[in-house]
Structure formats: C-alpha cells, structure tokens
Amino acid sequence: MVYPARREPILVWVLAFDGVITLGVASWMIWEAAVKHWSPAFFAVGPGLLFSFLAACWMLLHSNYEIAGQDLIVRQGPARRTISIAMIDEVFPTEKSALAPAWARDRLQVLFVPGVPAQRLFLDPLDREAFLQGLAAADPGLAYDGQKVARGVPI
C-alpha cells in the first residue's frame, strides 16, 4: 500500500513562486547569451536553474511511503530507501525539527531496534492513522495503540 506524503501548502506556494522567478531568470540568461552574445556560460547556467527547479518539484510532489510485504519504502523524488519493518522499534508523533524526508514539523519519528546503524527517521504520511495501522498489520510484533506503533515487550 502506498501512502502519499503530506505537502505543506506554504511549501507548494513557495515552490510555485520560485518556479516563476526561475523560469524568468533562466529565459533571460539564455536570451542574453543567444541574442546579445553575452557569456556562453549563460547557456549552461540557465538550463541548470531549470533543472534545479524541476528537481525540487520532483522531491516535493513525489514523496510517499510504501509498505510492501515486510519492507517500508521511503521515496522522496529520486531518493529511495528500503527499510525492513522488522528493524522498526517504535513510530510515534513528534515535533522535533531535524532534516528528514518529511516536510512538516509535526510528523512521525521512527526509532529502530538496537544495533541498527540508522537510529531514527522522520516521516509525514497524509493519512497517519492508516499508515500506522498498515505498519502494525505488516509485522505482528508491532502494536498500534491509536497514536503510535511500538514493538511489544517480550515476556
């Protein structure tokens, strides 16, 4: 099951504004280089600006989380990370501000079982409840309590 990432409206507006500016500047640079014979470097910089804008769009608009069998696949634009659900110890709401493949401050923090090199991950699915229930359904060792998913304590 694929769970789309939540997109903060302010980021979408900033990206749209940035797109208009980037398109204008890139067009101007290519025009100046072609018509007024300015520096040929403008032929490289203009398309480079457009490429960076398209990469930012891809990252913002193509972020999702997929539960595929025993794996959690985290996608953000061109980046893809596959995590075994058996390595997840707990997933809970947090407001920590760290760089992560989640666009909002109020998101889910994933803690891994001891011994896993990656100690934590931040996610922000659009439908949090369905995502947490999906994780609990994918691994019988995880239990969903209405707010978080945690690995059961062995007896």
**Helix, coil or strand: residue 62:** coil
Q: What angle do CA 80, 117, 131 make, to 5 degrees?
A: 50
Residues 81 and 8 in one domain: no
Among 18-27, 50-59, 84-93, 101-110, whose mean pLDDT is lowest?
101-110
pLDDT digits (tens, 9 = 90+) for 41-88: 878 888 888 888 888 888 878 889 999 999 999 998 888 999 999 999
Say yes or no to pLDDT of 99 above 80: no
CA distances (Å), origin 2, targets 71, 72, 129, 135: 12, 10, 13, 12
**Same domain for 124 and 139?**
yes
Strands 2-4 and 63-68 turn out to be: antiparallel
**Domain region containing 133:** 65-151
Q: What is the mean pLDDT of the chain?
A: 85
Decide which of 22, 39, 61 is a domain's last residue: 61
Q: Same domain for 70 and 98?
A: yes
pLDDT for 104 beyond 70 = no
Name the burial class of residue 82, with classes exposed (0-12), middle (13-18) and buried (19+) by CB atoms within 10 angstroms of its CB: exposed
The reply to whether 85 and 20 lie within a common domain is no
Look at the chain and report how many structural domains it folds into.
2
Mean pLDDT of 115-123: 78
Longest CA span, the chain: 77
Quick one: 56 and 11 in the same domain?
A: yes
Same-domain pairing of 56 and 109: no
Last residue of a domain, one of 28, 61, 94: 61
